[in-house]
Amino acid sequence: MAAESTKNGGESRISGIIKRYYNRHMNQPSNMTDYEKEYREFSLSVPERFSFPIDVFDKWEDRLALFWTDGITEKRFTFNELKILSSKGAGAFKKMGVKKEDKVLVMLPN
């Protein structure tokens, strides 16, 4: 499902872009001078009837949602691909008897 490519030796185009972005933006001093204050005052306004799958995944279905690389292998997932995988996971939980508002812990390997 996910587009995957392996680069033997050398740097892939995407990992090169990520490195350049990191060097340009992450090596700058932080504009946050008081973390505790930022943490206390942070708020996020979410509409009462917001659904991440409907309001984001359906709207942006063909856009790149996730890019992963270990420096050699690259994997890309669109929002639609993640929606399909998420639905499969939800179906598996449902088969196990997990119901809405049940708490679930998922542990993934590194």
Convert the pLDDT of each residue in 52-68 to its tens digit.
778 888 889 899 999 98
Q: Is this model's pTM higher than 0.75 or not? A: no
Cβ count within 10 A of residue 80 = 16
Query: In Å, what is the CA distance from 13 to each residue of 17, 19, 48, 73?
Result: 6, 10, 41, 12
Question: Beta-carbon neighbour count of residue 105 at 10 Å?
Answer: 4
Token look-up 């499902």 returns: 1
Distance CA 99, CA 94 (A): 7
Q: What's the pLDDT tens digit per position in 14-26?
A: 666 677 666 666 6
